Structure 1
Amino acid sequence: MTDTRLELGRFLRAMRERSPAEAGGRRRTPGLRREELAIRAGISTTWLAWLEQGREANPSPHALARLARALALSVAERAYLFELAGRLDPEAPVALALEEAPDSVRVLVDFAPGPAYGLDRTWRATCWNAAAARLFPGWLDDLGERNLLRYMFLRAEARAMLPDWHERARRLIAEFRADHAGRHGDPVSERIVADLRGESAEFASLWDEQVVQGREGGLRRFDHPWDGHLAFRQFTWIPADRPDTKVVVLHPA
C-alpha cells in the first residue's frame, strides 16, 4: 500500500466528515455517512470504502470529479484530490490567455540583472527587459515573432545565432510537450502545434519523436550578430499565482 493512496484515503475521509450532514437521524460521527456520500457522487459504498482505506481502487477522473462536486471541494482542495490520485482533472479550467504579463512575472523581469523574459502557457513572450531584446533579434525586437517555438523554427536569426541549434530545438520541443501534456484540449496550444507542423518539417519530425523533458537550466551559448560569442546560465521560475506562466533569466556564465 503506497503512502499516496493512504494520504488520498485520509483526505477523502476528512472531507466527508467535514461536509454538512444530511437532515434527520441520530449521528455518532460528524459529517456525511459513507453511504450518503456514495449516493451523492453516484458511486458504490464499497468502492468509496476502499478509497478511504487506501486500497487499490483505481479511481477514474470522472469518478473523482463527482466526488469533488459531492464534497463541494474548493479549487485548491479539488486540485489536491486529483494530484493525490495521479489523475488529470477533466473539468480543470483553462487559464485565460494573457495580453500582458501579470505583476509577479513583470517584477522579476524588471529587476533581473541580465536578459530576462516572461512566457505565457503557449510560450509567447509577454514581457522582457532591454538586455533580452538585444540578445534575441527577431524575437523580442519590434518585428519579432513573439512565440518562442515559432521563433526557434521559423526565424533565420535563431538558427544563425545558436551554434547548437538542433540540440536546443529538440530540447525545446521536449520541454513544451511536458507543459502541453497538462493542457490537452487547449485550442491555442493545439493550434500552435498544428501550424508549426505544417510550416516546419523539422518541427514535425522532432514533435513526432515523442520526447518529453522537464524544463531545465544549464549553459546557453550564442554567436551574437553584434556582441560575438556569449555564454549564460539559464534559470526558470514559475510564479505561485500564475503557474501557467514562467520567468526565464540568463546570467552571464
Structure 2
Amino acid sequence: MPHMNLSRRTTIAATDVLEEAWYQSDVTAFLMELGPAVYTQVRSEPVSKKNRLSDLKRFVNLNPGMQIDGESIESLLVERAARSIPPEPEHSWSKARQLTPLMATFLRVLELDGFTVSDGVLRRVLPSDIGLPETESDLMRLLAVHGLGVAKGHLIQAIDAHARGNWAGANGQIRTFLDALLDGLAERVDPDAAALPTGQSRRAKLAASGFLSRPLNEWSDDGKGFVNGLVKRLHPEGPHPGLSDEDDSTFRLHTVLLTSTLLLRRYDKGPV
C-alpha cells in the first residue's frame, strides 16, 4: 500500500471497528505481528478486549508514524479495519450491505482522508498530492493563529456532523464556516469592512482590496466568479437547504477545506 497520510480520528475509528469485529485471539495475533515494541505496551489477557485496544490507541497516539516493516502503524490499523467492512453487493438489485454505526463512521472519516474501501481494500478517492489531512490541520492552525475562533468553531462542528452522517447539519455548518471566514478576512484585510453588513458586501470588499483576484476569476461583480459560485453552490436552496446525501456533503466539505486553506495561507503570507 502506498504511503497514507491518516488523521488521528481515522485511526481511532479504525480501532473501534476492530474492537467490534475481533475476538481476543485476533487482538493477540495482531499485536504479535506488530512486534515486541508494541506488544509489550498492551496489557494481555484476561484484560478485556476493549481495554487492550484502548492501550493500543494510546500507544499509537504517543508514537505517531511509527514504522513496522516499512509501513506506519496507523496504516496497518486502518488496513485491518478495512478488511472487516462487508463488500458492496455485486448487483444493483441485491440487498444493500449492512454496516454497523461504527463501520459507517469509519468509512466517513476515512473518506475525509481521501480513501474509500472496496472489497476490503483501501483505495484512494482523490489524488495523493492533495493531502487532505495536512490541509485540514494547517487550516485549523491558521484559524487559531489569526484569531478566527468563530469560523474555527463552525468548521469543527461541520466535520463532526459529517462524521456522524448528519448531512444537513454538516452542510449548514460548512456554509456558515465559509461565511464567517470571509467576513473575518475582510475585517483583517481592510478594517473598514467591519462597518459593512456581513456577507456579499464584505466579499466585494475583499475583491476591491485585491485579496480576491479578479484576473484569476475568483470574484466577479456579475456573480460569475469562483467564490461567487462556491457560495451559491453551498446554498442552492437558500439559507435552509434540504437534505443532502453523502457524496454531495463530502464534495462541499472537501471543496471548502481546499479553498479556505488557499485563502488563509495567502493572508498568512501578507501583502505581496
Give your verdict on TM over 0.5.
no
Compare CA radii of gyration and give the structure with the larger one: 1
TM-score, normalised on structure 1? Answer: 0.28
TM-score, normalised on structure 2? Answer: 0.27
Greater per-residue strand proportion: 1
